[in-house]
Amino acid sequence: MKFSKLIMLATVAISVGTAATEVHAAKRTIANSNSQTLTFKQITGNNLHRLGTIRQLTRSQIATDHKLTGKQVQYLMQLPLPHRLTAKNFTLDSQSLTMHLTKNKLHVSIAKIPLSKLTGIILNRYMPSNLRYKKPTATKQKVVALTFDDGPDPLLTPKLLKVLKKNNVPATFFEVGSSVIKYPQISRMVIQSGNQIGNHSWNHPQFTKIGKARAMHQISTTDAAIYKATGTLPAFVRPPYGAINESIGASFDRPTIQWDVDSLDWSYLNTPKTIKHVLTTTHNGSVILMHDIHPTSVAAVPSIIHVLKKRGYKFVTLEQLMQKPLLSNYQYFGRNDYRNL
């Protein structure tokens, strides 16, 4: 695996000054690589969270590049991918990270992950300058992320989507596979409306009580349902009840999204109480947990959005909230609050 020498950058000569700049950039890149055979240990800084993220990006890229059946999507979690940071089975160039796969049931030999998806995952010195991770600048802007569990619901989810669109608010919907398979058109609406879908299991068991094998089956079957409905694999997992352990969490190679504001909408089933609780407990950087399967919960959303905006909050995606790539085998509760499994 030789790091690309980026010869093309040095041969494009629009002007003498431009050519000189590009040659300098190419030489610097070559010097950084030092013509070495790179390893995962080098490009990730010996970071297992980054390696797990690359494994999942490999699965997602295969799902994007190939039209897979439901069974093939379920197999992705069993796809033989490197678990050692010294593995030498990838190629890195100026455009992509190419994974060279071992023999597998999908008969796929390579997966080319664009470098644009790897900012903050591959160390900056191995990335083009325009794709290097930059620490966010300090801001006084207060931010919050909305998340909704247990859908999709054929009536309430579309109603909620209209509210979010009207107020220009993004959200992440953690859906259960048994409902996605019934209402795939609603899941498509979620994506088409500019929101994200996360995996919330097939039928909402507590993972830590059913064991690793059954938990993996819950995740993989829901992956297949969401893929069939939307053409994409969910990037995040939220375990039912927030119950997770290291063994189960490591098996799906994705960030685990928890929360730090539980609306208790499922307990109150009362719109004014839900509104009051969320407004009382939300703070800068919060991940708010709600549900799009209760009429009282959906009815509470317009007021929650209105008041929080009036208080100076901006509603953002999970990535924007965290201000960095979300990595596998971490639990994310809110901004600056992420923990090992």
The CA distance from 40 to 131, in Å, is: 19
Nearest Cα to Cα of residue 330 among 143, 156, 120: 120
Give the DSSP per-residue string, 134-174: -PPPP---EEEEEEEES---TTHHHHHHHHHHHTT--EEEE
Distance (Å, whole) CA 140 – CA 130 = 26
What are the two backbone dihedrals, phi and then psi, of residue 160, each rounded to the nearest 5 degrees? Answer: -65, -40
CA pair distance 115, 222, nearest whole angstrom: 28
The catalytic site residues sit at 149, 291
Q: Measured between alpha carbons, how far is 162 from 298 in angstroms, rounded to an integer?
A: 11
Among candidate residues 331, 309, 339, the one with its CA nearest the CA of residue 257: 331
Q: Output b/e per residue, 122-151; b: 16+ Cβ within 10 A.
A: bbeebbbeebeeeeeeeeeeebbbbbbbbb
